[in-house]
Chains A and B, each alone.
Chain A
């Protein structure tokens, strides 16, 4: 994308709708973004103009005792998180901040987080972004303003287009306002850490923790690297006495995996933030980063396949179900190794970061089976008949 290309920044929903309707009439493709923080995620696309929601800002509703917040799509994520923190509340899905990962100076927005369905370590118990997202206003590719879901905690009225649009990367519609349910912040958090486990033992320990009654809210494994021993991490949060009790019981349950140490609240929070944001993968910037979502117990098989083929660093989250691999060589960035391994492990792989030529030459998102792909195309045509919204961002022609 050239620097001098137009950036369209509507100031309200009506203007947004008019821009999209015009573009549809002219069949003029638009690159859709929030604050641009995730520009590096997805297939590169050719668009005459960029449409940004960055001027659609402001929290429109916040009711702490009803656990709900609504904001216009371009509202900076940090603004919403700060507002919630003032009432000791937070977004349950722990959205990551990947500016360092992508070397971006863009601003993460609530709409961007929703459109990419970005979820952090707490996804294992608190659900993904799509599970917290309960209401949407959006403009589809026809330029029509549509609402779906709402602001109440339970809602099965009509089809759930909210979930469908979460994670659609702006290919179906442009969100104009998002509503999330939120959760109270716990009094305290702490992390139990086991040292020196190999990947398979580590994932077994995480499975034991997640299969325990102690309410683990983070389950990650950082393999040994450059002389630093491997660390297997289990996070608990809640009232202080309860965390103390559960951490003790968990350590007893996991005694076969070695003796455990405890990381207190502040360093624990910093540690999980670095896992959430993939801080260790920020540099070197040119190295591909794979996001592999699999059956948790089979996570290590994907890492083994990768390590056999190329130099890489690995990080496990979600109890082993989310494997991050930094590495991958050749013109396919290691896809021929990672994709089959991911499928064998019951999941799929996304080329989450790579230099633009690699993302242009390879599938970024794992293409679904052909019948699903056909359905995907028909749904895309339904929401965006002129094919103007982020065309090709997810798949060629979608």
Chain B
């Protein structure tokens, strides 16, 4: 039993399962509706694996029009809908309930057009993040937001969560890199928002939809910016004897006027596990490691690295190493990008995603360590140091229900600490189910009411991803 309650499924809907599945089959054909229990089970969870529920059925449409028919059908029957991309959400964003139909975008994974002159690509929303970059990299272009899960996660999931990545320090997150999208509302209405231009007329519906966690509609297509990559890029490693020294070094670099493309941080437990996995040459005798990446021509890279070395010197970096080859760079990033996976090999964990003002880093890391001690749990820290987005991984044994509870409580304490120092609950993973009840720690009731009223505009009966984002108590009564 896990700590976060899901609403009781609606028995009257479960009783109509056959009818719902039959209706979906009429729209999509037998092959694209998953009805058998053992096959539905594949959709019972996402990357927040402690929570599971087998959905009523799974619908796999292949066109926007099919999505519209499916939503109009389910909306009319008042059946709940769980939009799903690749199911890599770490916050339970794609977690179903037993009375809900999962609508998966896996079949809508085509790149529709690439326009280098206007620096945009039009894609179906089920395309994986990496496939956009792969499609344009031959011409030296890339799609900037690069979540560590980019091999698997879809642009639909990225749009729903407003996902970020290691390189968003320079290039921004999803919302800064999407120009248009097509979305289907719960009544089947198809809307085109934004377009190929850098801005759109009227209210910024694009900004509103991105990050709305699948609660406004199902996104089926998107126009994304593609950027020309730099001439070259190179990561460097710097080890420090304390979190304080590493934190002060980050502040000094940014204060000096240099904004590297990425500044990633790992603490000793994280370094050990990632090094064992990736053999990246991370130093094992330091308390904190920074991976700093700079971009440009050979000369520019040399110059920037020289400047960073000079800025870092007062903080006594113990092991500075600059990558000397493509292979070395790849290994350095492999260790970082595979960090969660590598951790998963040694223990179960829940991954936090709080953000803090970077100046509070040492204090917060101390606080996180104390929280770990209080609950008797190990915590490894991996995070985007340049923008203060922390990913403490709370390690526990999933076979021990008491430990899961403890881990969740420790995680909640960490996030409350982030809010207390002026930060927020989530920087890129979304609220989902996981942080739903913590929203009251960041927002006052009026703040939440203002947001929930927007939900009711898009989805008056609260059918899309209803059990997420907002605390279960204090919600408006959904329209009948």
| B448 vs chain A, min Cβ distance (A) | 7
Q: List 6 A-B contacts (CB under 8 A).
A: A131-B175, A148-B451, A154-B387, A183-B259, A242-B296, A369-B192
Residue B443 interfacial (CB < 8 Å)? yes
| A117 vs chain B, min Cβ distance (A) | 7
Residue A167 interfacial (CB < 8 Å)? yes
| A-B interface contact total, Cβ < 8 Å | 254
Chain B residues within an 8 Å CB radius of A383: 450
Residue B375 interfacial (CB < 8 Å)? no
Chain B residues within an 8 Å CB radius of A295: 118, 120, 195-197
Closest to A119 in B: B199
Kindly specify which of B80-88, B125-133, B315-323, B352-360 makes contact with the partner chain. B352-360
| A375 vs chain B, min Cβ distance (A) | 7
Residue A228 interfacial (CB < 8 Å)? no
A211 and B303 in contact, given A146-B447, A157-B431, A321-B198 (Cβ under 8 angstroms): no
Taking Cβ atoms with an 8 Å cutoff, the residues of A that contact B are: 63-68, 88, 117, 123-124, 127-128, 130-131, 140, 144-148, 150-164, 166-168, 172, 183-187, 204, 207, 210-213, 215, 239, 241-242, 245-246, 249, 293-297, 318, 321-322, 346-348, 350, 365-369, 371-373, 375-376, 378-379, 382-383, 394-395
Chain A residues within an 8 Å CB radius of B64: none
10 further A-B pairs in the complex, CB-CB below 8 A; given A156-B162, A159-B211: A65-B359, A152-B427, A156-B428, A158-B443, A159-B454, A163-B206, A166-B204, A210-B119, A346-B196, A371-B191
- Report the separation of the CA atoms of residues A241 and B211 in the bound assembly, to the nearest whole angstrom: 40
**B172 x A375 contact (CB < 8 A):** no
B interface bracket (residues with beta carbon within 8 Å of A): 35 or more
Residue B426 interfacial (CB < 8 Å)? yes
- Selected contact of B204 from candidates A127, A130, A184, A211, CB within 8 Å: A130
Chain A residues within an 8 Å CB radius of B229: 213
**A152 x B422 contact (CB < 8 A):** yes
Kindly specify which of B31-39, B96-104, B250-258, B328-336 makes contact with the partner chain. B250-258
Chain B residues within an 8 Å CB radius of A144: 446, 449-450
**B358 x A66 contact (CB < 8 A):** yes
**B208 x A161 contact (CB < 8 A):** yes
- Report the separation of the CA atoms of residues A241 and B297 in the bound assembly, to the nearest whole angstrom: 11
- Selected contact of A124 from candidates B198, B357, B422, B456, CB within 8 Å: B198
- Report the separation of the CA atoms of residues A316 and B296 in the bound assembly, to the nearest whole angstrom: 28
**A131 x B426 contact (CB < 8 A):** no
- Selected contact of B454 from candidates A66, A161, A322, CB within 8 Å: A161
Most A CB within 10 A of own CB, among B162, B202, B389 = B202
- Report the separation of the CA atoms of residues A88 and B255 in the bound assembly, to the nearest whole angstrom: 10
Chain B residues within an 8 Å CB radius of A318: 198
Chain A residues within an 8 Å CB radius of B428: 154, 156
**B201 x A365 contact (CB < 8 A):** yes
**B423 x A152 contact (CB < 8 A):** yes
Chain A residues within an 8 Å CB radius of B231: 213
**B228 x A213 contact (CB < 8 A):** yes
| B166 vs chain A, min Cβ distance (A) | 12
| B442 vs chain A, min Cβ distance (A) | 6
- Report the separation of the CA atoms of residues A366 and B200 in the bound assembly, to the nearest whole angstrom: 9
Residue B193 interfacial (CB < 8 Å)? yes
- Report the separation of the CA atoms of residues A167 and B176 in the bound assembly, to the nearest whole angstrom: 15
- Selected contact of A154 from candidates B207, B388, B449, CB within 8 Å: B388
Residue B425 interfacial (CB < 8 Å)? yes
**B443 x A147 contact (CB < 8 A):** yes
Residue B420 interfacial (CB < 8 Å)? no
Closest to A394 in B: B202
- Report the separation of the CA atoms of residues A156 and B459 in the bound assembly, to the nearest whole angstrom: 20
Closest to B449 in A: A144
**A366 x B201 contact (CB < 8 A):** yes
A152 and B119 in contact, given A124-B198, A161-B454, A321-B197 (Cβ under 8 angstroms): no
Closest to A144 in B: B446
Closest to B418 in A: A152
**A372 x B119 contact (CB < 8 A):** no
A155 and B204 in contact, given A63-B357, A124-B198, A140-B450 (Cβ under 8 angstroms): no
Chain B residues within an 8 Å CB radius of A249: 297
9 interchain residue pairs of minimum CB distance: A163-B207, A184-B257, A154-B427, A153-B387, A347-B197, A65-B255, A65-B251, A295-B196, A164-B208
**A158 x B451 contact (CB < 8 A):** yes
**B203 x A168 contact (CB < 8 A):** yes
Closest to A173 in B: B450
| A318 vs chain B, min Cβ distance (A) | 6
| A21 vs chain B, min Cβ distance (A) | 13
**A293 x B454 contact (CB < 8 A):** no
A210 and B451 in contact, given A158-B469, A160-B162, A394-B202 (Cβ under 8 angstroms): no
- Selected contact of A242 from candidates B175, B208, B210, B300, CB within 8 Å: B300
- Report the separation of the CA atoms of residues A192 and B422 in the bound assembly, to the nearest whole angstrom: 43
- Report the separation of the CA atoms of residues A65 and B303 in the bound assembly, to the nearest whole angstrom: 21
